[in-house]
């Protein structure tokens, strides 16, 4: 995959980069990166150049320390993307932002399991580590996937509170029981990483199922004092194809969620709510 | 009814989303740009909480006290009317967040619980478990999604802002952005543009608590197009970050607020396990030096105390740049409930449990108090006029800035948990200002000739072409690493003019090294190196502003600490009454010279620094801050 940059005469960096030109400086030498190798690790990475091309595998050997994360390794790899066969290739594209397991960006498959790369310490693994893009989502490039479906699903279930407006109301503040808030809090930490979707046998590009994280948001919003005003509508939206009944109760989702969100508890609660709703729909209330 | 106009908001953090919602509510259509899905913005990282004087804890807290604390913590360097409005509005904002669904932690009576945070006497900080920023951001993200569903807001995620476009009168009339997948460079028209692009901690990478996308590149780009930057020398170093090679992760101030104690062994080279060191052999230096505030001294004071203990007294653990932050005496259930997020981060990245082993920490670049200069409008009693189009306007007409990328609320030093508040408040205020500005506009940008847009697209494409085919020997990663190291050593916790001069020279060299850039990647699809290299260039430009501003200010104020110009009222020497009087006199004389806003204007040969007066109409700067 080595591509030599075409032989163009670059315009002076200066002329282009500065909106007004500045005299060039005498330039010193650039010494190479320090490589403090305590240990080393082999990474086998599934790559794909764009959404339409074929995937292929490449293997890399990198110096590392046990307390480093997979994201830290991928960042190192950008510097010197040389395969184990000595071929210089394009750097591996990957997503990351917070590096604290809270933004949800860096979900990939590590040894086949959906995980956050930024919190996966190398010392957890033995031997070669395999990295692949998160399954169930269309691939953009290498380890980057397109998770926009998740957000479309959030729209579908009306995962919001309908505020009349962001103004002051002169009403006394809401009161909520500490216990209810503590339970809601569990669900409100979902960072939309998509790990649970990747693990769910019912979820994929060709099916309508909205997936466990989306269902958990329905559970969350239906329990908020204002969110519950639209409870019925949200329930109706998960009572159709692609909704709750598509869940096969395989429990995979809850096992991989990095935030330990009680997804199957939410799904169970929703099941009861939906049954009750069906009953109300049939006989009126 | 006003006609519906187009507004562009760059940034999907707390500030950008608030602005978007308000502009949409005013009936205009918003195009919201973000480097990634908006809910992954850096705002999610805030763990500690958000301040509002709700007075839910029976401590006679009130908005005036909050205002006073914010101003004095900022060493009087902030214009007071906007800060007053910020504190006055805080309770209202909290209740709106509550209506949007934020799961704020509760008192047994079901009210919003509040806790103490660095630098405050009152329990004023509202929090949602251990992930307040995440909860706040998601609540606005949901509202934006609701408005997106009715096309009031249109999101452009995975688009990078590159430049603004100005019409022949110099008004901002749109932007040029790049699709981070197809690399398409395209112009977008708008009647106003809001920049809410967040902070710039990456200038100090890897010693920063910020996300990798907190580069400041967007702010740097508008600066290079003529927008002013103010108070850039004021950068907050968070005293308690856990060490790491890729990034130093924040151990929230809540750790100190909930009873965490900072110490080092009294004896140099005491290599015992920390749990085996008896109380008598521990040096709780913050508690000894600042008895009144103890471990809750503000961040700058804590950072410098740690710097002093490690660098001057050489009492760091094993002689290194680290000290203990101890939670082992806390009740485990309580600690787990209040500090769960922080404990887990530490466990995750070190494999050690802070409830049984004291954590090891050191200061890291955390928050830029400075940023794009923005205007405000107040009456003669110092009250902000909330519907004025002047609020949050930059010096380029039609361009607004809010959130961490503005400079407006924190003066020389930010009070903990005040910035989620200021981003939300600023976003909302900016939205209202933009609506007012648009109502006063005679023409929409629709009718403008395409020339200016086309020219900017061509210019940006040329830069891309240059970067893509640059075949020198300098990798952008290397340049960034050099930048971070240089900034940390020379423009960091402690500053001196010698090292600052050398930093300025080295920053020029870094800029020049782009002539020898090697991108190493020519792929035309989702080329991350291209976007990154462009950001690094703009970061170097921004770092110059920070370094020049720091070089120009010869005093100690808040986070800007230049010991050669230390005021007699030093942090650690307890003086008697006469000396105190003398100190106060010095302090006032110093204020006459330096109590001014630093303004940096772009110039190709380096930023031009000058100073603007500050509006101190509400609390006169008569009393120095005294934390003893
Ligand atoms: C670890 C940590 C903990 C913190 N804890 C607290 C706390 O407890 N309490 C508190 O009050 N404050 C805290 N802060 C500070 C606070 O989180 C931030 O100041 C605040 O969230 C910034 O919000 P923002 O909306 O300005 O920017 P961000 O949330 O950083 O959002 C920036 C947005 O701009 C977009 N963007 C940037 N550049 C471009 C571009 N070129 N083109 C398109 N889009 C672009 C990004 O995509 C993103 O959406 C903390 C900060 C850190 C680092
Ligand atoms: S329990 Fe349902 S949602 Fe979870 S993995 Fe199984 S099928 Fe998917
Ligand atoms: S429920 Fe868990 S796994 Fe699923 S998206 Fe949310 S955080 Fe990720
Ligand atoms: S980088 Fe944010 S979750 Fe991993």
pLDDT in tens, B531-559: 999 999 999 999 999 999 999 999 999 99
Among A145, A169, A203, identify where a domain stops: A145
The better pLDDT of the pair B432, A246 is held by B432
DSSP B216-242: -HHHHHHHHTT--EE-TT-EEEEEEEE
Per-residue confidence of chain A (285 residues) as pLDDT tens digits? 333 333 333 344 444 455 543 333 222 233 333 333 358 999 999 999 999 999 999 999 999 887 889 999 999 999 889 999 999 999 999 999 999 999 999 999 999 999 999 999 998 898 899 999 999 999 999 999 999 999 999 999 999 999 999 999 988 999 999 999 999 999 999 999 999 999 999 998 889 999 999 999 999 999 999 999 999 999 999 999 898 988 988 889 999 999 999 999 999 999 999 999 998 888 876
**CA neighbor of A167 nearest in space, from B25, B259, B553:** B25
When divided into structural domains, chain A yields a total of 2
Please give the average per-residue pLDDT across B447-466, as a whole number.
96
DSSP chain A: ---PPP---PPPHHHHHSSS--PPPP----PPPP---SEEEEEEEEE-SSTTS--EEEEEEEEE-TT-BHHHHHHHHHH--B-TTS-B-PPPP---S-SSS-S-TTEEEETTEEEEGGG-BGGG--S-EEEEEPTTS-EEETTEE--HHHHHHHHHTT-S---S-SS---PPPP---HHHHHHHHHHHT-----HHHHH-TT--TTS----HHHHHHHHHHHTSTTGGGGHHHHHHHTSSTTSGGG-----HHHHH-TT---HHHHHHHHHHHHHHHHHHHHH--
Q: What is the pLDDT of residue B517?
A: 96
Please give the average per-residue pLDDT across B428-443, as a whole number.
95
Partner-chain residue, chosen from A28, A69, A91, that has the shortest CB–CB distance to B528? A91
Q: What is the pLDDT of residue B2?
A: 58
Q: What is the pLDDT of residue A35?
A: 35
Are both A249 and A212 inside the same structural domain?
Answer: yes
Ligand 1 center from residue B514 Cα (angstroms) = 28
Percent of chain B with pLDDT over 70: 97
The better pLDDT of the pair A242, B11 is held by B11
pLDDT for B316 beyond 80: yes
CATH architecture for residues B238-365: Alpha-Beta Complex (3.90)
Q: What is the pLDDT of residue A29?
A: 31
User: Is the CB of residue B610 less than 8 Å away from at least one CB of chain A?
Assistant: no
CA of B569 vs chain A CAs: smallest distance (Å): 39
CB of B476 closer than 8 Å to CB of B532: yes
The whole domain housing A255 covers 148-283
Place of tokens 């240059």: B466
CB of B21 closer than 8 Å to CB of B155: no
User: Is the CB of residue A2 less than 8 Å away from at least one CB of chain B?
Assistant: no
Give B177-181 contacts, CB < 8 A, sequence gap 24+: B177/B33, B178/B460, B178/B464, B178/B531, B180/B35, B180/B526, B180/B531, B181/A140, B181/A141, B181/B525, B181/B526
User: Is the CB of residue A12 less than 8 Å away from at least one CB of chain B?
Assistant: yes
Among A106, A122, A145, identify where a domain stops: A145
Are both A191 and A102 inside the same structural domain?
Answer: no
Q: Residue B198: what are its φ and ψ, rounded to 5°?
A: 80, -165
Residue B76: count other Cβ atoms within 10 Å of its Cβ.
23
Ligand number with the minimum distance to the CA of A213: 3
CA B554 to each of CA B39, B78, B560, B561: distance values in angstroms, whole numbers, following the listed order: 41, 18, 9, 9
Are both A166 and A74 inside the same structural domain?
Answer: no
Are both A66 and A177 inside the same structural domain?
Answer: no
List CB contacts (< 8 A) between A163 and chain B. Answer: 96, 99-100, 143, 146
Q: What is the pLDDT of residue A157?
A: 97
For residue A21, is it within any domain?
no
User: Is the CB of residue B44 less than 8 Å away from at least one CB of chain A?
Assistant: yes
Ligand 4 center from residue B64 Cα (angstroms) = 39
> How many CB pairs (< 8 A) connect A and B?
234
The ipTM (two decimal places) reads 0.91
CATH architecture for residues B452-579: Up-down Bundle (1.20)
pLDDT tier for residue B118 given thresholds of 50, 70 and 90: low
First to last CA, chain B: 57
Q: What is the pLDDT of residue A39?
A: 84
**Between A70-79 and B476-490, two packed helices, what is the crossing angle to 10 degrees?**
110
CA of B44 vs chain A CAs: smallest distance (Å): 6
Are both A84 and A49 inside the same structural domain?
Answer: yes
* Whether B40 and A103 lie within 8 Å, measured CB to CB: yes
List CB contacts (< 8 A) between B206 and chain A. Answer: none
| Residue B615: partners with Cβ closer than 8 Å, 6 or more residues away | B79, B80, B81, B378, B382
Residue A6: count other Cβ atoms within 10 Å of its Cβ.
9
Are both A98 and A203 inside the same structural domain?
Answer: no
Q: Which of residues 178-237 of A touch B (CB under 8 A)?
A: 178, 181, 184-185, 188-189, 191-192, 221, 224, 226-227
The better pLDDT of the pair B293, B195 is held by B195
* Whether A144 and B134 lie within 8 Å, measured CB to CB: no
For residue A190, is it within any domain?
yes
CA of A139 vs chain B CAs: smallest distance (Å): 11
Which tens digits make up the pLDDT trace of B136-150? 999 999 999 999 999
Residue B168: count other Cβ atoms within 10 Å of its Cβ.
10
According to DSSP, residue B4 is labeled: P
Are both A159 and A220 inside the same structural domain?
Answer: yes
* Cα(B422)–Cα(B87) distance, integer angstroms: 9
Place of tokens 């940006």: B460
* Cα(A221)–Cα(A187) distance, integer angstroms: 9
CATH number at residue A267: 1.10.1060.10
Among A111, A145, A179, identify where a domain stops: A145
The better pLDDT of the pair B3, B440 is held by B440
A261 lines ligand 2 (CB under 6 A): no
* Whether A121 and B98 lie within 8 Å, measured CB to CB: no
* Whether B351 and A121 lie within 8 Å, measured CB to CB: yes
Is B228 designated active site?
A: no
Which tens digits make up the pLDDT trace of B370-415? 999 999 999 999 999 999 999 999 999 999 999 999 999 999 999 9
Are both A136 and A202 inside the same structural domain?
Answer: no
For residue A8, is it within any domain?
no
Residue B439: count other Cβ atoms within 10 Å of its Cβ.
14
Torsion sign (Cα): B77, B79, B83, B84: positive
Ligand 4 center from residue B104 Cα (angstroms) = 23
Q: What is the pLDDT of residue A17?
A: 55
A17, A161, A180: which to substitute to probe chain B, counting the most B Cβ within 10 Å?
A17
Q: What is the pLDDT of residue A34?
A: 35
Which tens digits make up the pLDDT trace of B152-199? 999 999 999 999 999 999 999 999 999 999 999 999 999 999 999 999
B11, B89, B243, B523: which to substitute to probe chain A, counting the most A Cβ within 10 Å?
B523
* Cα(A104)–Cα(B231) distance, integer angstroms: 33
Ligand 3 center from residue A49 Cα (angstroms) = 27
CATH number at residue A130: 3.10.20.30
For residue A245, is it within any domain?
yes
* Cα(A195)–Cα(A190) distance, integer angstroms: 11
Stated as kind and residue range, the H or E segment containing B132 is helix B132-149
Nearest-Cα residue of chain A relative to residue B142: A160
Residue B111 burial (C-beta neighbours within 10 Å; 0-12, 13-18, 19+): middle
Are both A234 and A130 inside the same structural domain?
Answer: no
Are both A279 and A152 inside the same structural domain?
Answer: yes
* Cα(A223)–Cα(B567) distance, integer angstroms: 56
Are both A272 and A160 inside the same structural domain?
Answer: yes
Place of tokens 């308690």: B240
Are both A124 and A62 inside the same structural domain?
Answer: yes
| Chain centre to alpha carbon of residue B231 | 12
């Amino acid at each position: 995959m080595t591509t030599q940059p075409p032989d163009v005469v670059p315009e002076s960096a200066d002329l282009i980069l500065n909106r007004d030109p500045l005299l060039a400086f005498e330039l010193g030498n650039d010494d190479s990166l320090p490589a403090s190798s305590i240990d080393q690790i082999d990474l086998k990475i599934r790559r794909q150049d764009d959404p339409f091309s074929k995937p292929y595998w490449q293997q890399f050997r990198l110096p590392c320390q046990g307390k480093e994360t997979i994201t830290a390794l991928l960042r190192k790899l950008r510097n010197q993307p040389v395969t184990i066969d000595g071929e210089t290739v394009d750097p591996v594209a990957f997503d990351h932002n917070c590096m604290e397991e809270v933004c949800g960006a860096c979900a990939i498959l590590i040894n086949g399991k959906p995980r956050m790369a930024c919190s996966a310490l190398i010392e957890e693994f033995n031997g070669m580590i395999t990295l692949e893009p998160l399954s169930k989502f269309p691939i953009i490039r290498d380890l980057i996937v397109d998770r926009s479906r998740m957000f479309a699903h959030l729209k579908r279930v009306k995962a919001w509170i309908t505020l009349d407006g962001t103004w002051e109301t002169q009403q006394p503040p809401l009161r909520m029981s500490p216990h209810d808030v503590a339970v809601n809090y569990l669900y409100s930490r979902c960072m939309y990483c998509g790990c649970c979707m990747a693990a769910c046998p019912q979820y994929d590009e060709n099916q309508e199922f909205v997936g466990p994280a989306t269902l958990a948001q329905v559970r969350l919003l239906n329990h908020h004092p204002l969110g519950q005003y639209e409870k019925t509508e949200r329930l109706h939206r998960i009572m159709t194809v692609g909704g709750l009944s598509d869940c096969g109760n395989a429990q995979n989702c809850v096992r991989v969620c990095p935030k330990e969100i009680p997804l199957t508890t939410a799904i169970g609660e929703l099941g009861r709510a939906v049954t009750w709703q069906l009953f109300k729909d049939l006989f009126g209330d | 009814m006003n006609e519906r106009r187009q507004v562009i908001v760059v940034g999907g953090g707390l500030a950008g989303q608030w602005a978007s919602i308000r502009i949409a509510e005013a009936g205009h259509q918003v195009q919201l740009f973000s480097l990634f899905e908006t809910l992954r913005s850096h705002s999610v990282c805030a763990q500690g909480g958000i301040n509002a004087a709700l007075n839910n804890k029976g401590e006679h807290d009130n908005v005036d006290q909050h205002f006073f604390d914010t101003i004095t913590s900022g060493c009087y360097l902030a214009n007071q009317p906007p800060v007053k409005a910020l504190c006055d509005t805080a309770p209202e904002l909290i209740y709106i967040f509550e209506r949007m669904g934020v799961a704020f932690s509760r008192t047994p009576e079901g009210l919003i619980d509040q806790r103490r945070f660095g630098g405050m006497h009152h329990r004023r900080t509202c929090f949602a478990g251990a992930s307040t920023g995440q909860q706040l951001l998601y609540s606005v993200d949901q509202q934006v999604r609701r408005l997106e569903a009715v096309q009031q807001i249109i999101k452009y995620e995975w688009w990078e802002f590159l430049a603004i476009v100005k019409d022949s009168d110099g008004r901002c009339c749109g932007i040029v952005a790049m699709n981070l997948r197809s690399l398409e460079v395209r112009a977008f028209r708008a009647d106003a543009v809001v920049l809410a692009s967040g902070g710039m901690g990456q200038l100090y990478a890897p010693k920063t608590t910020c996300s990798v996308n907190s580069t400041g590149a967007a702010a740097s780009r508008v600066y290079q197009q003529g927008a002013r930057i103010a108070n850039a020398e004021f950068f907050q170093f968070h005293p308690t970050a856990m060490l790491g090679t890729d990034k130093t992760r924040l151990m929230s101030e809540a750790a100190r607020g909930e009873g965490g104690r900072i110490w080092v062994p009294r004896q140099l080279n005491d290599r015992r396990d920390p749990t085996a060191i008896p109380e008598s052999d521990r040096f709780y230096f913050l508690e000894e030096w600042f008895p009144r505030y103890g471990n809750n001294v503000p961040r700058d004071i804590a950072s410098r105390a740690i710097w002093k203990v490690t660098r001057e007294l050489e009492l760091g653990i094993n002689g290194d740049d680290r000290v203990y932050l101890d939670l082992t005496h806390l009740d485990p259930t309580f600690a787990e409930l209040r500090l769960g997020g922080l404990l887990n981060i530490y466990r995750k990245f070190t494999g050690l449990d802070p409830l049984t082993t004291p954590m090891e920490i050191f200061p890291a670049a955390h928050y830029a108090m400075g940023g794009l200069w923005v205007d405000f409008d107040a009456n003669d009693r110092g009250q902000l006029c909330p519907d004025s189009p002047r609020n949050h306007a930059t010096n380029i007409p039609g361009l607004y800035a809010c959130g961490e990328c503005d400079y407006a609320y924190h003066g020389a030093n930010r009070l903990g948990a005040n910035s989620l508040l200021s981003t939300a408040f600023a976003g909302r205020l900016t939205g209202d200002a933009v609506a007012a500005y648009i109502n006063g506009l005679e023409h929409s940008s629709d009718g403008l000739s395409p020339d200016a847009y086309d020219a900017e697209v061509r210019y940006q494409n040329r830069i891309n072409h240059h970067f893509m085919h640059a075949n020198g020997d300098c990798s952008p990663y290397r340049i960034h690493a050099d930048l971070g190291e240089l900034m940390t050593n020379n423009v960091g916790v402690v500053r001196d003019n010698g090292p600052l001069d050398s930093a300025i020279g080295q920053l020029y060299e870094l800029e020049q090294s782009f002539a020898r850039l090697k991108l190493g990647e020519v792929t035309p699809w989702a080329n991350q190196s291209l976007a990154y290299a462009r950001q690094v260039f703009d970061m170097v430009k921004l770092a110059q502003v920070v370094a020049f501003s720091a070089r120009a200010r010869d005093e100690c104020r808040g986070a800007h600490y230049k010991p050669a110009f230390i005021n007699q009222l030093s942090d650690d020497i307890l003086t008697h009454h006469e000396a105190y009087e003398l100190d106060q006199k010095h302090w006032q004389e110093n204020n006459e010279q330096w109590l001014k806003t630093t303004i940096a204007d772009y110039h190709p040969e380096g930023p031009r620094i000058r100073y603007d007066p500050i509006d101190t109409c509400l609390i006169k700067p008569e009393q120095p801050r005294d934390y003893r």
